[in-house]
Amino acid sequence: MVSSRKAGGRGRRVGGVVLAFVVIVGLWWVIFGRGSDGKLQDANAGTNPGETKLASADNKPTRPEGSGDSVRMGDRDTPKPFHRAGSDNTWSDQPEKPVEQVASLEPDPLTTAKKDETKPAQKPADEIKPVSPSNVAEKPATRVEEPPARVTSPSVRALIEEGGRAAQENRLVEARRLLNRALHDPSATEGERAQLRDAIGRMNETLVFSATAVAGDPLAETYTIGSGDVLSKIVRTHRLGVEWQFIQRINKISDPARIRVGQNIKFVRGPFHAVVSKSAFRMDIYADINDGAGNRMFIRSFPVGLGEHGSTPTGSFVVNSSKMMNPSWVNPRTREKFGADDPKNPIGERWLGLTGTSAETEHLSGYGIHGTIDPESIGKEMSMGCIRCRAGDVEMIYEMLVPEASTVEIVP
């Protein structure tokens, strides 16, 4: 009896275990084995290895629908697996890559395609042109027609070529004459005239401004010092039309009181004249000799400064007897006085007064040519109407222009 009760008890316990197992399996089948549509689901679908995914009571994921990308494959939408992006516990839809390789990796073509669906295509930086807010519509380019370059006239070209050959053969007097004719040719361009002034000026460094007297030069001659001669007396006696200091300059005489009997010196005959171009801020010096074509002979140019606000008058003048060295000056506006040799004297160390000789200038007074203590004003309109020159230049101009003979013409 005892053994039969034990056997019966064991059988009931085994049966209970089996029944419990069946119940558990059934419950698992009901809860986890079917989806919301009643079909069997893959237990691994939609989960990542090692990831626990919680579901709500209605068996829907807690992550909002539509968050995150998906890749369409045929007719199925398969969620993309998520991978941990780093130690900050964020999630990324890109595979984790070693940091040192990021710069060399190409972008995921699928991700790029997805982004291209929402972003407009951009042009490369070198193709993008800035657009002015005030002028959005691009206007067609307007072609600017440049004026045709002037071609040297045959007459000017012939004179320049012939003068160049004469200069190469050291026939400077003839070369100067030919180039002076080209300078005054009406068909010469401004560029050609500038080059011709430069070329003639360099020739005159020898012909005029040196102690060398070139045979055949109508401006120069050689003179032998006699007993009782002094430079000032020689200039007056021979009516040279220049200041005696100019003869001292070109002959490089350091002390005019020490010239000696029998010494040969060079004369240069004036008078010389000046033409001032206001637009060019330039003074051109001419000699009173003819080049064979009716033109005065160009000697050299000096840069000048002019009157503020265009106040330097145009017209004809003659150098008057108020010409002086080391002038004193009174400012006509402030009545401030500056003595001779005053380093603050605005008109410098030379003054050449001018008297008007034409209808537009004969009523004018107080105008002249002078130096300056402000060399930066040369090439500008900063004086009270007079013609300013650099200190060294005005000394030479002073020596070349003489009262009642040298004319000054001011042109626009």
pTM recorded for the entire structure: 0.65
The two tokens of residue 8 are 């019966």
Domain count, the chain: 3
Listed in sequence order, the residues at least 6 apart from 236 whose beta carbon sits closer than 8 Å to its beta carbon are none
Whether residue 282 sits in one domain with residue 180: no
Distances (CA, A) of 279 to 186, 238, 301: 19, 38, 14
Whether residue 282 sits in one domain with residue 263: no
**For residues 305 and 282, what is the distance between their CA atoms, to the nearest angstrom?**
8
Q: What is the CATH number of the domain that holds 226?
A: 3.10.350.10
- Flag whether 316 is in a domain: yes
DSSP assignment of 361-372, as one string? TTT--S-EEE--
- Flag whether 245 is in a domain: yes
Chain-wide mean pLDDT for the chain? 77
Whether residue 369 sits in one domain with residue 281: yes
Residues 46 and 79 sit within 8 Å (Cβ to Cβ): yes
pLDDT value at residue 152? 77
Listed in sequence order, the residues at least 6 apart from 96 whose beta carbon sits closer than 8 Å to its beta carbon are 83, 84, 85, 86
Whether residue 307 sits in one domain with residue 179: no
Whether residue 316 sits in one domain with residue 249: no
When pLDDT is cut at 50, 70 and 90, the band that residue 19 belongs to is low
Chain segment 349-368, per-residue pLDDT in tens? 999 999 999 999 999 999 99
Portion of the chain with pLDDT greater than 90, in percent: 63
Residues 311 and 393 sit within 8 Å (Cβ to Cβ): no
pLDDT value at residue 314? 98
- Flag whether 94 is in a domain: no
Residue 203: which H helix or E strand, with range? helix 190-207
- Flag whether 55 is in a domain: no
Q: What is the CATH number of the domain that holds 282?
A: 2.40.440.10
Whether residue 369 sits in one domain with residue 246: no
Whether residue 335 sits in one domain with residue 315: yes
Position 257, amino acid: A
- Flag whether 182 is in a domain: yes
**For residues 323 and 312, what is the distance between their CA atoms, to the nearest angstrom?**
19
Q: Which of 76-80, 246-250, 287-291 has the lowest mean pLDDT?
A: 76-80
When pLDDT is cut at 50, 70 and 90, the band that residue 21 belongs to is low
Neighbour count for residue 51 (Cβ, 10 Å): 8
308, pLDDT greater than 50: yes
Range of the structural domain that residue 160 is part of: 152-207
Neighbour count for residue 366 (Cβ, 10 Å): 10
Residues 350 and 398 sit within 8 Å (Cβ to Cβ): yes
106, pLDDT greater than 90: no
Residues 401 and 318 sit within 8 Å (Cβ to Cβ): no
Q: Which of 23-32, 113-122, 324-333, 396-405 has the lowest mean pLDDT?
A: 113-122
Whether residue 359 sits in one domain with residue 265: no
Q: Report whether the peptide linkage leading into residue 147 is cis, meaning its omega lies within 30 degrees of zero.
A: no
**For residues 304 and 377, what is the distance between their CA atoms, to the nearest angstrom?**
8
Neighbour count for residue 255 (Cβ, 10 Å): 7
- Flag whether 310 is in a domain: yes
Whether residue 397 sits in one domain with residue 333: yes
- Flag whether 339 is in a domain: yes
pLDDT value at residue 145? 52
Bridge partners (DSSP) of residue 410 are 276, 315
Whether residue 397 sits in one domain with residue 281: yes
When pLDDT is cut at 50, 70 and 90, the band that residue 136 belongs to is very low
Position 61, amino acid: P
Whether residue 258 sits in one domain with residue 178: no
Bridge partners (DSSP) of residue 221 are 267
Whether residue 407 sits in one domain with residue 282: yes
